[in-house]
Amino acid sequence: MTVQKPVPPQRLSLHWGVDEDVEEISRYTYGGYHPIQLGDVLPPPADTEPSNSRKYRILSKLGHGSFSTVWLASAQHHSASGRYFAIKVCVANADPQRELDVFRLLSSDEGRHVLRLHDSFTIDGPNGTHAVHAFNVLGSFHIVARLARPHWNPRDLCRQIAQGLAFLHRHGVVHGDLHMGNIGVSMPQLDDIIEEDLIDRFDPPECTIVFPRQTPARPESLPPYLVPPTHISELLLKPTAELHIELLDLGNAIIVGSSSAPPACTPAAVCAPEIMFEQVTTSVVTQSATTASDIWALACIMYEIVFNVVLFHLASHDDYLLGKMAAVCGKVPPSWRSFWDSNEHLRKLDISQEAADQKWQRKIDNSSARKGGALSREDFVIFCDLLQRMLKIDPSDRLTIEEVLAHPWHTQTADNSI
């Protein structure tokens, strides 16, 4: 989501401390989050047009982002009990149109690996008018990674994520915020559970009571309590089950060629070097994410899935990370040269294709020496060949997503399901 104008933070602190997993209370202000309580029905009856009978009852919290809170809700208007949606309630000063425009471009496709938008409407509240989107509910890939890693097929997971990205790029959409947190796992089994049974499976949430130390200027802006997320994937996904991956959070997605594309905001650990360089050298980012920056992020994610470690550790937007990127790619781009030579840390680094190749070779040797892994030495050789073609410091040299999918890593029959 894009913020149209900054929200002046309402300085508030609460008695009894706040759970780290919940949203910032000061964002419940005019233009910010909409206060929601468990059991609320959206849209509220007063906002519902007579012709429209949709009703989503909020059952638990799924998460929050900078621009929304996301809730598990049951659709009361469906004839069968147990039809669930992830209800994303956007901050009031977000621009909902871009995300909707993106979803409009994505034609339906049964086997697709991208989240689906099922419904969309607006609600009015004390903090303004909020766009509300109803998506299919996804489990967290992070949590599934913890539970299911010993059982999964890394090649298949990489392929599904790449197919999700290919679907977007084919429709002229750049994801723009691809990272592990924006990868979800389908949960078709959810709809087989009736509402009462589902709620019985959750522990009662340990909500933070909203009792401000100061009298708030607009008490009606605040919810009575903050709800921590319920990790439904932990409850419902069987570690041994086959995983169907879907990419989520198209709030930062960009339609290729759009004149109103916002600046890129990818987290440092998966941020492409051209964007990182601008951030480090000017402290701002003006350029937008591109299909090539999505490919860089995809390579970082695939690396983490296959090797079970992140490619760029403790990554933050700094010159140190630029050095690591150049080392992985074996090249300093000419446009970085004057900055590079004037930087004491960077100019001492040994950057060459030979040094980079040696590092990749060591990675292959160490990984294939580990006993009991799912992949053979040959698999690692092929995988690292693919990564090296995706992790090019010059964005125009990176493989396209169709080339990624056509690489032997993806086209070889996966006989390594474990």
Ligand X SMILES: Nc1ncnc2c1ncn2[C@@H]1O[C@H](COP(=O)(O)OP(=O)(O)OP(=O)(O)O)[C@@H](O)[C@H]1O
* Residue from 36, 59, 70, 226 in contact with ligand X (CB under 6 A): 70
Among 48, 66, 76, 122, binds ligand X (CB under 6 A): 66
Task: Provide the b/e sequence for 61-94 (b: ≥16 CB within 10 Å).
Answer: bbbbbebbbbbbbbbeeeeeebbbbbbbbbbbbb
Distance in angstroms (rounded) separating the CA atoms of residues 400 and 418: 29
141 counts as binding ligand X under rule CB under 6 A:
no
- The smaller minimum CB distance to ligand X, of residues 158 and 183, is found at 183
CB of 303 to ligand X, least distance (A): 21
Interface positions, 108-127, toward ligand X (CB under 6 A): 115
Among 68, 160, 221, 388, binds ligand X (CB under 6 A): 68
Residue pair 57/74 in contact by the 8 Å Cβ criterion: yes
3-state DSSP call for residue 2?
Answer: strand
- Decide: is 294 part of the binding site for ligand X (CB under 6 A): no
By CB under 6 A, residue 248 contacts ligand X:
yes
Residues 6+ apart with CB under 8 A from 153: 374, 414, 416, 417, 418
Using CB under 6 A as the binding rule, whether residue 160 contacts ligand X is answered as no
Query: Binding of ligand X at residue 106 (CB under 6 A)?
Result: no
* Smaller CB separation from ligand X, 162 or 183: 183
* Nearest CB to ligand X, comparing residues 86 and 145: 86
Residue nearer to ligand X on the CB measure, 232 or 390: 232
Residue 95 and residue 79: Cα distance in Å, rounded?
A: 33
Binding site annotation covers 348? Answer: no
Q: Is residue 181 a contact residue for ligand X (CB under 6 A)? A: yes
Residue nearest ligand X, CB atom distance: 65
Here the contacts of 303-309 (C-beta below 8 Å, separation 24 or greater) are 303/387, 304/180, 305/145, 305/154, 305/157, 305/158, 305/161, 306/154, 306/158, 306/375, 306/383, 307/363, 307/367, 308/149
**Residue range at the interface with ligand X (CB under 6 A); choices 57-65, 157-165, 323-331, 342-350:** 57-65
Nearest CA among 6, 18, 26, 22 for reference residue 216: 26
Interacting residues toward ligand X by CB under 6 A:
1, 62-68, 70, 86, 88, 115, 135, 137-138, 181, 184, 248-249, 251-252
Annotated binding site for ATP, which residues?
Answer: 88
